[in-house]
Amino acid sequence: MQSLDSLDRRLISLLRTDGRAPVSVLARQLGVTRATVNSRLERLVKSGQVLGFTIRTRDDRGDDDVRAISLVEVEGRTTKEVIRSLRGLPEIQSLHATNGGWDLVAEIRCDSLIDFDRILGEIRAVDGVINSESSILLNSVLRN
């Protein structure tokens, strides 16, 4: 795979903000010609650096929902059972195995701090969970 230069990185950054931005607008923002933007986009797609263009939709939930990341440490060889139990909690939006000091990372979304407290209690009550640490997400500064 080709390495990205400064122009490629700036182009990708603009597309992350607005994947539907017209080539003429991208060219003006980057200070290059439309032909340059077109050739860069074509090369980025062809090389696999850019996999596609997408839209972001407004989530059905409100902006005041509580979103958090919870790091979970699992005892011994109970990971499969813990994963099975955590999959049953609808507030867990995604669950990832990871390396380092934590075994699992859970993305949580719920309606209120009271619900958040309840879900943390449910996570900690799962057999095999020996430790957890959570961080509430305050503001999204970059989304793919």
From first to last of its 144 residues, what are the pLDDT tens digits of the chain?
567 888 998 898 888 878 889 999 999 999 999 999 999 999 999 988 888 887 665 554 556 789 999 999 999 999 999 998 998 888 898 999 999 999 999 999 998 999 999 999 999 999 999 999 999 999 878 765
Fold of the CATH domain 6-47: Arc Repressor Mutant, subunit A (1.10.10)
The predicted model scores a pTM of 0.61
d(CA 30, CA 24) in angstroms, rounded, equals 10
The residue type of 19 is: G
CB-based burial label for 29 (10 Å; 0-12, 13-18, 19+): middle
Kindly state the helix (H) or strand (E) to which residue 95 belongs, with its residue range.
strand 92-97
Please tell me the CATH code under which domain 66-137 is placed.
Answer: 3.30.70.920
Please report, for the chain, the start and end positions of each structural domain, with discontinuous segments joined by +. 6-47, 66-137
Strand partners, 73: 131
Give 111's contacts (C-beta < 8 A, 6+ positions apart): 61, 65, 66
